[in-house]
Structure 1
Amino acid sequence: MTQQLTERDVRDIATYARIGLTDEELAQMTVDLNSIIETLKPITEFDLESVDPTFHPIGGLSNVMREDVEVPGFTQEQALSNAPKQQDGSFLIPAILGGGDQ
């Protein structure tokens, strides 16, 4: 197996990605990444000279989104009608950061 990545390369990648690796993890990660690269090597050996690039596997798709049409929304009363608790025309929800008694 040809080594594509050195431990220095893997350390640089880990530093860039902010991943802390011990020396043992660095050595194992280097072996693992080189193994992955070796496994994918046959892909690079295909003759793709006459193959046109594909931009979407299904091809010929166009925008299938509907037009953005403005429709009337709820009134404030309708929106609050099923709220378990409300206060001053707003939803009243429990505090999640502390400091509140609701």
Structure 2
Amino acid sequence: MTQKLTEDDVRGMAAYARIGLDADELAQMTVDLNNILATLDRIKEYDLDAVEPTFHPIAGLSNVMRDDVETSSFTQEESLVNAPKQQDGSFLVPSILGEGSDR
């Protein structure tokens, strides 16, 4: 197998991705990435000159979501009926900042 990536190449990629690799990990990652590239070299065996590039695997897909239509919903009173605490038509929840009193 011809080595395409050097340890310097892998070190640069790791630094760019902010991945810390020690010397052993760097050596193993270089071997692993070169093995992956060697596996992908098999694609070169095929004559793909007449094959059109595929830009999206499901080219004919259209938006399948429903129209955004306003429908009836809960009233404010219905929404608050099971609230453990409420104040002035709103939910009253414990404060997550400060001294811990309800807000």
Does the TM-score normalized on the shorter chain lie above 0.5?
yes
TM-superposition CA deviations, 1:19-77 (whole Å, max 9, x none): 11111111111111111111121123321111122233344222222222223333222
C-alpha root-mean-square deviation of aligned residues, in Å? 2.4
CA shift in 2, pair 1:41/1:60, >3 Å: same
Distance in 1 (alpha carbons) for counterparts of 2:53 and 2:7: 35
CA shift in 2, pair 1:88/1:23, >3 Å: farther
Listed as ranges, the matches of 1:22-101 within 5 Å are 22-94=22-94, 99-100=99-100
- Structure 1 stretches of 4+ moved >6 Å: none
User: What is the percent sequence identity of the aligned residues?
Assistant: 70
The gaps in structure 2 that reach 5 residues or longer are none
Structure with higher RCO (Cα < 8 A, 6+ apart): 1
CA shift in 2, pair 1:70/1:10, >3 Å: same
